[in-house]
A and B are shown apart, each in its own frame.
Chain A
């Protein structure tokens, strides 16, 4: 008898059949899963294409001027995105300016200082802020935040800090305002920024902290000089994620911003954002051009958030690569 490598024997017919059927099942499964996965990017492309198609009449009529014009006159058919674009960006910047230091402070406390038993519940409560429906934020804004701003914060800014002379805080404050929208947005994006920052800070290797401490750094110097720089790009990614949320937020902003299609240098004046403009006018849009102009606003908003999200992805990728 020859001992050594032998040719493969034919599997018994029962086994062969089972293998063959498993092969078919595998293939069906793979095709189905691939189709499901393909649906998502396909959907994105479809949405983009559909918005672009619907926006096309307005974009063709107004051209690049659509972005720079302040007109919004459905009767005479003149539309421009400038005030809403301005309002979207300014309210989001106000939100970031307020939320970023707060969120990073919360994240530093939770990752570096909070005792173990406190970390989980506080993290949970902060994350819970993200679960509150935005219409509830809007209601709270109308009944609590706006009166608070009008009776306490604005007088403080004007009379105590004497900021009334600066363009940012000039003019009267009747209630709904860019400032109110910015504050509401700040509260809404705080959990996103702080959750990302917290995870990034917790992911900083212990060896980095030890390196700083062994050089004679205090706890604070260690955080400021070693932990935060190490986590910097990741935290920036979290901030941009928050910015993405702020740019697209609709309901709460619509309820507190005042919905006035004007560009005003003062944060105390009412304004408009692209999202709130669409939400307010879509149901009562008169005429095809009006509808198309709203679609064009949507298209601009879509592109803006896409760019912001791409930026966030790129930053997160850079962090992952350097770590």
Chain B
């Protein structure tokens, strides 16, 4: 077996036909990526390839580094003072930390949704139009069409089409979270990062988000951090298990949950720790 130097989420044997997502933009590869908050090391030499047009779940106990890794992909972590990194993360072969890459342009290509939904205190329309507006260069008609298509992609259009001018804060929590997804999609990103997007939602709202991810992966790369192992099993094609800042194991989700190679993975998914 020719094991690549980077543990690929792409499986080596089974279920490969669609899985690799090769030929599509949105492939993320971390090479020996380490990250520090001040003196505290949060990530230790992560090697991980995330295939395009799939859902990859990052799991692990609290403080294991999965959120740090997620926020390293769109360079949100570097906004905190006193952080540093080593190694590289590439998006379609381009080093995202390279000097020629503009972090703001990068974040337009890599959307992010947070644990606690954070719509702006503006109208529903203005929330979705916010990203395209700051990037500029769109006519009124184009913007209208983009807002509609983004809300449709986030499965929110039918619920809000009659009140686009009303405040986003009047929506339910689940709707606000889908609005945040629509807002990220309006930038037409190649990658969507989700940081425990449903952990504060009720089961029905959670189910809507999960169904949404299933649709979204046809068009973009989805990376989701979750504490909920059932959720990871339901929504993801690949699962990466993080522990103490290290990547323990990554594989197709069904294999991680049925026959993990590592003892620690097995212990975590069966609830023996974490």
Q: Which A residues fall within an 8 A CB radius of B?
A: 205, 207-208, 210-218, 221, 225-226, 229-230, 322
Contact = CB atoms under 8 A, between A and B. Distances in A.
Contacts of B119: 211
B76 interface: yes
Given A207-B116, A229-B121, A322-B121, A214 B135 contact: no
Interface stretch (B22-30, B101-109, B207-215, B259-267): B101-109
Given A210-B114, A221-B134, A225-B134, A216 B187 contact: yes
Contacts of B114: 207, 210-211, 214
Contact of B118 (A211, A225, A229): A211
Contact of A217 (B104, B111, B118, B180): B104
Given A212-B130, A216-B104, 13 more contacts: A207-B118, A210-B76, A211-B118, A212-B120, A214-B107, A214-B114, A216-B105, A216-B107, A221-B134, A229-B120, A229-B122, A230-B121, A322-B169
19 contacts: A207-B116, A211-B114, A211-B118, A212-B130, A214-B76, A214-B107, A214-B114, A215-B107, A215-B111, A215-B130, A215-B131, A215-B134, A215-B187, A216-B105, A216-B106, A216-B134, A225-B134, A229-B121, A230-B121
B76 A216 contact: no
10 tightest CB-CB pairs across the interface, nearest first? A216-B108, A207-B118, A214-B112, A215-B131, A216-B107, A211-B118, A216-B104, A221-B134, A218-B104, A217-B134
Contacts of A208: 118, 120
Contact of A211 (B79, B180, B187): B180
Contacts of A225: 130, 133-134
B68 interface: no
B55 interface: no
A207 B140 CA distance: 28
Given A210-B76, A213-B76, A215-B108, A226 B131 contact: no
A210 B184 CA distance: 12
A211 B104 contact: no
Nearest to A116: B81
B105 A226 contact: no
